[in-house]
Amino acid sequence: MAASVAEAVEIAKKDKAAVILACGGSGRRFSDALETGGAAGAVAAARVEAGASVAAGITAEAGVGEAGVGEAEAKQFLMLGDRPVLAYSLAFLENYPRVDEVVLVLPEQHLERGEALIRGQWLPGLRFPKVKTVLAGGASRQESVSKGLAALAHRQGPVLIHDGVRPCTYREVFDRVIDGVLTWGNAVAAIPVRDTIKRADQAGIVRETLERQGLWQIQTPQGFMLHELRQAYRQAGEGLAVTDDAALMEACGCKIHLVEGHPANIKLTYPEDLLLLEALLSRA
């Protein structure tokens, strides 16, 4: 039986979502393809219209100086302009109306620095009261996200996972992911692969050139329903090693939906990325 618009709006107002931010050419417009029907569609559309709030759990990468940048410094605390890299994502979430709670997971040796940043002791006048919990992560991103989920045990609804070392944040991307979760149960930001991709062996000999059509570069945020992501983590246990939560959900049989990301939503990985990010942020 189809839900009325009024009933759907009431359901939407009760919804709370959680976001986990993992620090550590033009795209196809997926937003135009949102089609819903029946009661589920009415509820999903009303949830989007009502602007269901999101609790954001942020997990910073547990590693220090991984992937070529920040060997002597955790890359989420590298200075980018007048503030550390992590502060950009925190500032975005602080002002983003669909987020109402943040859990920050950091390498254990940087907990004190993270707490100082949250309280405004690092950057005078810049505090992040939406961050309700700061805790130590694990040896891997997967373990850190798991701890972030445990800190959100009191929440139900959508959860977003986002890299805190992606300082160029875009409201429209977050909106698309949240709307996708409320419509399909999950949504992951992505952009089409631009370059030719080849598969090579350990000797560097090309073995295959992949067809570029249908290949996507996955970004964050990645959004899921909390109960489904928790179930996937329980099902996966410690025997499954993945590079992101979408892969973990896929391994557990979940069909993942992609939504349009942004070419400038890059992850700080190489030293040269700092110059590019600084240029991008100066134009924002």
Distances (CA, A) of 34 to 98, 176, 250: 20, 10, 21
Contact 61, 141 (CB under 8 A): yes
Query: Topology of domain 5-188+216-282, per CATH?
Result: Spore Coat Polysaccharide Biosynthesis Protein SpsA; Chain A (3.90.550)
94-136 per-position pLDDT tens digit: 999 998 888 898 888 999 999 999 999 988 888 999 998 999 9
* Strand duo 186-192 + 216-225: pairing: antiparallel
**130-179 confidence digits (pLDDT tens):** 998 999 988 888 888 989 999 999 888 888 999 889 999 999 999 999 99
Mean of the per-residue pLDDT values of the chain: 80
Q: What mean pLDDT is predicted for residues 17-37?
A: 43
pLDDT at 192: 96
Q: What is the mean pLDDT of residues 89-96?
A: 94
Cβ contact 281:261 at 8 Å: no
pLDDT, position 246: 95
Q: Binning pLDDT at 50, 70 and 90, where does residue 13 land?
A: very low
Domain spans in the chain, listed from the N-terminal domain onward: 5-188+216-282
Could you tell me the pLDDT band of residue 69, with boundaries at 50, 70 and 90?
A: low
